[in-house]
């Protein structure tokens, strides 16, 4: 709810450094009448801050520094003179500087845990909880009625030995430096035991027992590994994992998860990524693994298919989810959540059974399968971008403060109302959870352990971006380089010319000569918009009027990332084009620091025993059942380096329905294809695909495959 207790005014120079840098960059490159000089002039004319001509000249000279910014210097001076963020906002509104105003637009604060009303006996201890997300630094203040509670500055308000005087209404205000939000009111009723009859005392004791049984759970930490495989070498390409992984990453970060998000991994890269994920786990930590891509289920075990899996693939080419679960359990985690966004059909080409050690009997495992056993999963395509059906409904509920199984039940109900997939795809939930554990559970560390420090360092290594830099060329041209992360293994490099001498009439700059490991296509580099590079998700957050290059598969980087910045320019009256080049080394950005290209270091973690399987062979006792989808064979494979082009089994057969390459807007496509086989008497091993189309009131259609 809205409140009448505003947060204190904040001077400009107390803004976070990344926000100040973004704001300064916006002012530095602003059009005439909206730049930093115009801001200084307007502030002086309105009596906010007056700067001398010498101070303005000092700001101007910052352009001569390698990373100097006149706007940065101006904002620092204004902040030192007492100019607040609110006053700066009013000045930018007068200048109609939309981009700079967007920098100041505060992130919304969302209260994810509301305080609950309670009725207790006098003399008991009461705990009221309010937890919020949305900003990196939040401040809490509890109120009883309209009075602030002394020392009530924590997410939890603890009242020891309550009395009748403590009864009343409580509320918590959560604020950052520039916005705030109030929780719901919580009513506290306190019964004086001396004046209560026997029946009343029993009622209050029962109520107190219920409160104890639903006491809030805590996580020591929360970490998530999100993997999305799309660009398969030998199987149909997918689209949904791009958007699904990106959106889930942003939502989980709001819930204070340390998220590693990766696209398009080979088998050794997936295995080593899981190993690095296991290093982040420890006793009491919440671990979440989400996978989107091709998959299948055999004999109760789920298998995730890497992008380099052969055609056909078998268990030895894939990652077994139950094996990962066993390794997570060894870490004594507080909660293990698996969200598997893949098909679960049987792999007819795989007649092996994994001999797995029995899983621990624990009460902390939750599986959310995007579809039921033996069924397919689907995705929606709109204007070139795709959402999986599972994530389409999951993202609407992920921030809800509910037990994870209750939250997934709500997703299942939402999916059940989707007429396009009704009877085709239904969420399946499997759980051994006996406690009220939720993704919104707050993190509570009693002490800073060596394990937590190592975990924070390991996660930080995988998310370290290079510092922006300004390159000074001999001719006097200055070029600014900036960097942004789209995923943990996808980097956006953007460049712009920030200074050009007047005698230079034509000036162009571009980046080139990237390491061969990364396979950056020059035709898709140095584009005028992020979308042209294939980056559809970050465009609104990147600075405008730059050239953009998208660098994916950073996990393959073996050495430091070096590239060349080329400058082409012409002087007035001279026809010759002059070239200058500078080599830039930005180290190992993001996931490249973890060197997962080297393959998994602990092979024993994923080695399995295999044995031939007969039709009646049952999975070993203790194995937790999970998900599956078949390989895709009757399609024209794509050629990749190191993978020769093969001929399809049936040149005239239909394209697999699992393929997500259709560009038809609003098209819902099955994920992945299924196959029909001749009668058992034919003994043929050649699959024949059949495809039906189900009309919908979308402008496209739902393509489904079925077995004959």
DSSP string, 607-661: --EEEE--TTPPPPTTPPP--------SS-PPPBTTB-----S-TTSPPPTT---
Omega cis (within 30) before 312: yes
Whole-number CA gyration radius for the chain: 29
Tens digit of pLDDT for each residue in 530-554? 989 888 888 778 888 899 999 999 9
Distance CA(121)–CA(198), nearest Å, equals 13
Strands 578-585 and 504-512: unpaired
10 Å CB burial of residue 633 (0-12, 13-18, 19+) is buried
Ramachandran assignment for 488, one of left (phi > 0), alpha (psi -120 to 50 degrees), beta (any other): alpha
Q: 335 phi and psi, to 5 degrees?
A: -155, 135
Residues pairing with 582 in the sheet = 565
User: What pLDDT does 521 receive?
Assistant: 84
**Same domain assignment for residues 335 and 449:** yes
Distance CA(116)–CA(99), nearest Å, equals 41
Q: Is residue 644 part of a domain?
A: no
The structure tokens listed for 533 are: 């590079």
Distance CA(599)–CA(298), nearest Å, equals 25
From 343, 546, 629, 659, the catalytic residue: 343
- Kindly state the helix (H) or strand (E) to which residue 286 belongs, with its residue range: strand 286-292
CB distance 349 to 253 below 8 Å: no
Q: Is residue 665 part of a domain?
A: no
Helix (H/G/I), strand (E/B), else coil: 279: helix
Helix (H/G/I), strand (E/B), else coil: 168: strand
Tens digit of pLDDT for each residue in 571-626? 888 888 899 999 999 999 999 988 776 654 444 344 443 433 333 333 333 333 33
**Same domain assignment for residues 390 and 290:** yes
Domain tally, the chain: 4
User: What pLDDT does 99 receive?
Assistant: 76
The structure tokens listed for 99 are: 């981009």
User: What pLDDT does 526 receive?
Assistant: 93
The structure tokens listed for 314 are: 């078998």
Q: 347 phi and psi, to 5 degrees?
A: -90, 105
Q: What is the dihedral of CA 61, 64, 66, 72, to 10 degrees?
A: 20
**Same domain assignment for residues 244 and 393:** yes
CB distance 49 to 81 below 8 Å: yes
Distance CA(603)–CA(532), nearest Å, equals 40
CB distance 238 to 391 below 8 Å: no
Q: Is residue 192 part of a domain?
A: yes
What CATH number is attached to the domain comprising 484? 2.60.40.3360
Distance CA(105)–CA(99), nearest Å, equals 10
Q: Is residue 638 part of a domain?
A: no
**Same domain assignment for residues 293 and 345:** yes
Q: 159 phi and psi, to 5 degrees?
A: -115, 115
pTM of the model as a whole: 0.59
- Token look-up 């396979």 returns 519
Domain boundary among 148, 180, 213: 213
What CATH number is attached to the domain comprising 87? 1.10.533.10
Distance CA(628)–CA(319), nearest Å, equals 12
The structure tokens listed for 419 are: 């007429």
**Same domain assignment for residues 337 and 480:** no
- Token look-up 């089994």 returns 649
Distance CA(170)–CA(185), nearest Å, equals 6
The structure tokens listed for 38 are: 């115009």
CB distance 658 to 292 below 8 Å: no
**Same domain assignment for residues 279 and 173:** no
Closest by CA position to 26, among listed 34, 38, 37, 14: 34
- Token look-up 């080297």 returns 598
**Same domain assignment for residues 114 and 203:** yes
Q: Is residue 666 part of a domain?
A: no
Domain boundary among 104, 121, 136: 104
CB distance 636 to 237 below 8 Å: no
Distance CA(706)–CA(708), nearest Å, equals 6
**Same domain assignment for residues 132 and 41:** no
**Same domain assignment for residues 378 and 494:** no
Q: State in Å, rounded, how far the first CA of the chain is from the last one.
A: 56
Domain boundary among 193, 213, 233: 213
Question: Which residue positions in the chain have pLDDT lower than 70?
Answer: 1-9, 32, 105-107, 135-136, 177-178, 193-214, 355-359, 380-384, 445-449, 451, 597-708
What CATH number is attached to the domain comprising 161? 2.60.40.10
CB distance 661 to 694 below 8 Å: no
Q: Is residue 563 part of a domain?
A: yes
Q: Is residue 623 part of a domain?
A: no
**Active-site annotation holds for 343:** yes
The structure tokens listed for 359 are: 């899983």
Q: What is the number of alpha carbons within 13 Å of residue 369 lying toward its C-beta?
A: 30
- Token look-up 């239909």 returns 654
**Same domain assignment for residues 408 and 436:** yes
Domain residues for the domain of 71 are: 12-104
Q: Is residue 632 part of a domain?
A: no
User: What pLDDT does 244 receive?
Assistant: 93
**Same domain assignment for residues 424 and 310:** yes
Q: What are the residue ranges of helices labelled H in 349-449?
A: 389-394, 404-416
577: DSSP letter: P
705: DSSP letter: E
**Active-site annotation holds for 294:** yes
User: What pLDDT does 292 receive?
Assistant: 94
Distances (CA, A) of 518 to 140, 272, 273, 326, 586: 46, 18, 18, 33, 14
Distance CA(630)–CA(312), nearest Å, equals 9
Residues pairing with 659 in the sheet = none
10 Å CB burial of residue 90 (0-12, 13-18, 19+) is middle
3-state secondary structure string, 539-586?
HHHCCCCCEEEEECCHHHCCCCCEEEEEEEEEECCCCCCEEEEEEEEC
**Same domain assignment for residues 395 and 369:** yes
From 97, 135, 172, 294, the catalytic residue: 294
What CATH number is attached to the domain comprising 236? 3.40.50.1460
What number of other Cβ atoms are within 10 A of residue 206's Cβ? 10
């Amino acid at each position: 709810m809205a409140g009448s207790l505003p947060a204190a005014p904040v001077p400009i120079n107390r803004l976070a450094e990344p926000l100040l840098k973004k704001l300064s960059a916006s002012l530095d490159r602003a059009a005439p009448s909206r730049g930093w000089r115009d801001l200084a002039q307007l502030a002086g004319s309105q009596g906010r801050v007056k700067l001398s001509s010498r101070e303005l000249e000092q700001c101007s000279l910052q352009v001569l520094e390698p990373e100097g910014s006149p706007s940065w210097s101006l904002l620092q001076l204004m902040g030192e003179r007492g100019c607040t963020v609110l006053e700066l906002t009013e000045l930018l509104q007068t200048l109609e500087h939309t981009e700079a105003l967007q920098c100041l637009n505060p992130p919304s604060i969302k209260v994810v845990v509301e305080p609950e009303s309670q009725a207790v006996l006098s003399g008991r201890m009461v705990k009221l909880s309010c937890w919020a997300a949305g900003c990196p630094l939040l401040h809490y203040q509890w109120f009883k009625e309209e009075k602030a509670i002394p020392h009530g500055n924590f997410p939890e308000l603890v009242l020891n030995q309550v009395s009748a005087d403590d009864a009343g209404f409580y509320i918590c205000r959560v604020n950052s430096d520039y916005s705030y939000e109030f929780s719901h009111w919580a009513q506290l009723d306190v019964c004086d035991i001396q004046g209560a009859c026997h029946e009343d005392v029993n009622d209050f004791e029962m109520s107190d027992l219920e409160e104890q049984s639903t006491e809030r759970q805590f996580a020591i930490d929360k970490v998530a590994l999100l993997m999305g495989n799309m660009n398969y070498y030998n199987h149909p390409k997918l689209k949904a994992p791009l958007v699904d992984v990106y959106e889930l990453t942003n939502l989980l970060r709001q819930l204070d998860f340390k998220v590693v998000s990766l696209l398009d991994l080979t088998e050794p890269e997936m295995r080593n990524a899981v190993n690095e994920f296991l290093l982040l786990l420890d006793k009491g930590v919440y671990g979440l693994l989400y996978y989107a891509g091709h998959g299948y289920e055999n004999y109760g075990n789920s298998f995730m298919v890497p992008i380099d899996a052969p055609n056909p693939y078998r268990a030895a080419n894939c990652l077994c989810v139950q094996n990962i679960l066993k390794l997570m359990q060894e870490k004594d985690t507080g909660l293990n959540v698996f969200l598997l966004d893949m098909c679960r059909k049987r792999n007819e080409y795989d007649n092996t059974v994994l001999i797995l050690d029995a899983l621990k009997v624990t009460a902390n495992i939750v599986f959310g399968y995007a579809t039921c056993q033996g069924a397919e999963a689907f995705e929606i395509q709109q204007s070139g971008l795709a959402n999986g059906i599972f994530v389409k409904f999951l993202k609407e509920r992920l921030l809800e403060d509910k037990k994870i199984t209750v939250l997934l039940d709500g997703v299942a109900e939402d999916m059940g109302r989707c007429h396009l997939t009704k009877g085709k795809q239904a969420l399946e939930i499997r759980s051994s959870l006996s406690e009220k554990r939720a993704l919104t559970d707050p993190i509570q560390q009693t002490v800073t352990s060596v394990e937590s420090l190592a975990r924070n360092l390991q996660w930080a290594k995988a998310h370290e971006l290079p510092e922006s830099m300004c390159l000074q060329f001999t001719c006097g041209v200055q070029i600014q380089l900036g960097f942004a992360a789209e995923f943990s293994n996808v980097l956006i490099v953007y460049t712009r010319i920030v200074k050009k001498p007047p005698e230079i009439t034509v000036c162009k700059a571009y980046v080139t000569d990237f390491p061969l490991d990364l396979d950056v296509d020059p035709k898709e580099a140095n584009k005028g918009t992020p979308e042209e590079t294939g980056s559809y998700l970050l465009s609104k957050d990147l600075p405008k009027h730059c050239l953009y290059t998208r660098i994916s598969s950073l996990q393959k980087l073996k050495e430091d990332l070096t590239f060349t910045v080329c400058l082409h320019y012409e002087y007035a009256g001279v026809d010759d084009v002059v070239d200058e080049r500078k080599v830039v080394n930005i180290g190992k950005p993001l996931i490249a620091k973890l060197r997962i290209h080297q393959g998994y270091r602990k092979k024993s973690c994923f080695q399995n025993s295999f044995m031939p399987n007969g039709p009646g062979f049952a999975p070993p006792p203790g194995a937790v059942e999970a998900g599956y989808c078949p390989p895709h064979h009757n399609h024209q494979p794509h050629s990749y380096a190191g993978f020769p082009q093969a001929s399809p089994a049936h040149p005239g057969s239909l394209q697999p329905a699992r393929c997500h390459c259709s560009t038809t807007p609003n098209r819902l496509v099955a994920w992945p294809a299924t196959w029909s086989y001749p009668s058992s008497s034919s003994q043929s091993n050649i699959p024949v695909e059949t495809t039906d189309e189900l009309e919908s009131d979308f402008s496209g259609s739902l393509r489904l495959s079925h077995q004959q």
